[in-house]
Amino acid sequence: MGIKKTYEEINEKIKKGEAVVVTAEEMVNIVKDKGVREAAKKVDVVTTGTFSPMCSSGAFLNFGHSDPPIRTTKCLLNGVPAYSGLAAVDCYIGVTEPSEFDENYGGAHVIEDLVAGKRVKLHITSYGTDCYPCKELDTHITLKSINQAFMFNPRNAYQNYNAATNTSSNILYTYMGTLLPKMGNITYSSAGELSPLLKDPLYRTIGIGTRIFLCGAQGYIVWEGTQFNKDMKRDKKTKLPEGPAGTLAVIGNLKHMNREFMRAAKFQKYGITMFIGIGVPIPILDEDLAESTAISNADIFTNIVDYSTGRRERPTIARVSYQELQTGRIKIGNKEIPTAPISSIYKARQIANVLKNWIEEGNFLLSSPVQNLPVEGIFKPLKIQEEIKWKL
């Protein structure tokens, strides 16, 4: 008989403080020592974590109404434009939006400042309507002074992102960091064996409605992330995708977040983004989940791709494991190339441990997905149509 557990049974154990919770790194060793069956019997929940720059992130804010009221057409937060094509005093501040006055400050900094409890300057303009006569206002807001503030990130936690290198003779400044000429370095951006979507590759327990750790708050997965690739080839044994595949759209209350688990970032000659901290708990419902949560860095392979082409399809230079990448040096042909992460393993580990503590202390219950994420479908590119070029 195989081992079977239900969400209800695991949640009962959590409420009684009896659940056995381990981090994904710990699970790798437990399965190595005791085998899949024993691990499945013993362990109830495996916690994962990642802390990486995730550009498709931002927050919805509702400021409350002024007197006289205003219907926002343009809104600046510390000089950073927030999207206002919504109802009167709602906006969406995206992390990559740059300030109109300072190239080193952007939406991510506004969000970080709000979470840090700082005052943020708000400037609103409008054309004025009969019901919203006010045409311009200036004030300050704080996270406490506004009605709602929730982070809503359309694409986070990529499943198996590529590693990057540069074969050209020029230095490249990319969202994968500074890439030195002639394959002078390789950067990679996944937390490897701690990374959420690598531990449940076919999304059996990670779906819409899954409760997660999001930047220090309890958040939820709300949809498949944008650019979710259902079409990626997968390894026959581990079911891991060969390249970037699944992504998550997530939501969480900004008012409960902690700056320790999020940070505004500026990538040289690329722009602004934000480090987002995410942790997903995986219930060990059976032996298959014990096995997948124990996939180790030695079994997680990614492609090293050449960022010097400036094209959509970038050539793959080599395929390497995370075990190799994390040694800080890999050999390609006769050349030893230094490797560097973009994603903080230190923070990923911290997140997996915080989530573990929450569950152990009975403060975080697991939720089963109300709908699963897709594993089949088409992934579409965009075609440029020169013949309809916009003429100004």
Partner 1 sequence: MEIVRFVLDFPKERTGKPVVYQLVKDYGLIINILKARITPEEEGRMVIELNGEKNNIESGLNFLAELGISVKALSGKITLNTEECVHCGLCTGVCRTGALSLNSECKITLFAEKCTLCELCVGTCPLRIIKIEF
Q: How many whole angstroms separate alpha carbon 266 and alpha carbon 106?
A: 9
Q: How many whole angstroms separate alpha carbon 39 and alpha carbon 294?
A: 9
Identity of the residue numbered 290: A
CB of 27 to partner 1, least distance (A): 18
Q: Could you say whether residue 37 binds partner 1 (CB under 8 A)?
A: no
Close Cβ partners of 262 (under 8 Å, ≥ 6 residues apart): 111, 112, 115, 215, 216, 274, 275, 276, 277
User: Which of 57, 126 has the CB closer to partner 1?
Assistant: 57
Binds partner 1 (CB under 8 A): choice among 263, 283, 367, 373: 263
Binds partner 1 (CB under 8 A): choice among 79, 141, 349, 375: 349
Q: How many whole angstroms separate alpha carbon 28 and alpha carbon 238?
A: 14
CB of 217 to partner 1, least distance (A): 18
Binds partner 1 (CB under 8 A): choice among 345, 351, 352, 373: 345
CB of 310 to partner 1, least distance (A): 20
User: Which of 52, 159 has the CB closer to partner 1?
Assistant: 52
Q: In the block, which residue shows the tokens 């959590």?
A: 14
Q: How many whole angstroms separate alpha carbon 73 and alpha carbon 56?
A: 23
User: Which of 46, 264 has the CB closer to partner 1?
Assistant: 264
Token pair of 205 as six digits? 């327990």
24-42 vs 345-360: helix crossing angle, rounded to 10: 30
Q: In the block, which residue shows the tokens 């230094």?
A: 338
Binds partner 1 (CB under 8 A): choice among 62, 125, 148, 178: 178
Q: In the block, which residue shows the tokens 């109830």?
A: 44
- Contact assessment for residue 109 and residue 101, using Cβ atoms and an 8 Å cutoff: no
Q: Could you say whether residue 265 binds partner 1 (CB under 8 A)?
A: yes
Q: Could you say whether residue 342 binds partner 1 (CB under 8 A)?
A: yes
CB of 187 to partner 1, least distance (A): 5
CB of 154 to partner 1, least distance (A): 21
Identity of the residue numbered 196: P
Q: How many whole angstroms separate alpha carbon 379 and alpha carbon 389?
A: 25
Identity of the residue numbered 60: F
Q: Could you say whether residue 340 binds partner 1 (CB under 8 A)?
A: yes
Q: Which 294-323 residues touch partner 1, going by CB under 8 A?
A: none
User: Which of 133, 338 has the CB closer to partner 1?
Assistant: 338
Close Cβ partners of 171 (under 8 Å, ≥ 6 residues apart): 178, 179, 180, 181
Q: Could you say whether residue 169 binds partner 1 (CB under 8 A)?
A: no
Binds partner 1 (CB under 8 A): choice among 275, 307, 358, 364: 275
Close Cβ partners of 388 (under 8 Å, ≥ 6 residues apart): none
CB of 173 to partner 1, least distance (A): 8
Binds partner 1 (CB under 8 A): choice among 2, 16, 138, 268: 268
Identity of the residue numbered 64: G
Q: Could you say whether residue 96 binds partner 1 (CB under 8 A)?
A: no
Per DSSP, the three-state class of 53 is: strand
Catalytic positions are 131
Q: Could you say whether residue 99 binds partner 1 (CB under 8 A)?
A: no
Q: How many whole angstroms separate alpha carbon 100 and alpha carbon 50?
A: 31
Q: Could you say whether residue 207 binds partner 1 (CB under 8 A)?
A: no
Question: Interface mask (CB under 8 A) for partner 1, residues 43-72, using x and -?
Answer: --------xxx-------------------
| Residues of the shown chain interacting with partner 1 in the complex, contacts defined by CB under 8 A | 51-53, 104, 177-178, 180, 185-187, 263-268, 273, 275, 328, 338-347, 349
